[in-house]
């Protein structure tokens, strides 16, 4: 196992110095889902939830929120985001029914954007929950994970399963 970078030699938490790293394109893709009752998926798809267009609001929340990742995760660096794509797909064909969420985040910087992609997926799922909780309190946010990261010294990593 490689050394944990967020701890110094004395074991104290610290922010990694990325000043000597090269600026390169960084890309991260994350995914997750929020499981819910079929009626909830149907209402979201039909656009009849009382609070408005759930998927559009969740997409905007994901994009706005990922920009604040370094404010919420103590040792995370602020990065210059160059692009974001967030998709939310209602899936009635799965059991249980769900909204599948994907976020692709791009930056040109000295450190990666994995945390920003994971933050986007998390915030989209939380926003869906908030907007739909009055009709379905049993929703479950599941399987938030990094699928791929590209760029930087470590190159490309892709989830195998």
Active site residues: 130
The 10 Å CB-count burial string (b at 16+, else e) for 25-44 is ebbbbbbbbbbbeeebbebb
Instruction: For the chain, count helices (H), then strands (E).
Output: 4, 5
**Contact present, 108 and 48 (Cβ < 8 Å):** no
By C-alpha distance, which of 57, 161, 80, 73 is closest to 118? 73
């Amino acid at each position: 196992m490689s050394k944990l970078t967020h701890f110094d030699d004395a074991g104290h938490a610290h922010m990694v110095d990325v000043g000597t790293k090269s600026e390169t394109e960084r890309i991260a893709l994350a995914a997750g889902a929020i499981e819910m009752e079929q009626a909830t998926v149907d209402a979201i798809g039909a656009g009849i939830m009382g609070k408005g267009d759930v998927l559009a609001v969740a997409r905007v929340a994901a994009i706005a929120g990922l920009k604040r990742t370094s404010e919420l995760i103590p040792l995370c660096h602020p990065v210059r985001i160059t692009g974001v794509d967030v998709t939310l797909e209602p899936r009635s064909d799965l059991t249980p029914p769900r909204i599948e969420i994907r976020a692709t985040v791009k930056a040109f910087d000295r450190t990666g954007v994995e945390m920003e992609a994971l933050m986007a997926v998390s915030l989209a799922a939380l926003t869906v929950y908030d907007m739909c909780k009055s009709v379905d309190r049993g929703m479950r946010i599941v399987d938030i994970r990094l699928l791929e990261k590209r760029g930087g010294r470590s190159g490309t990593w892709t989830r195998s399963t």
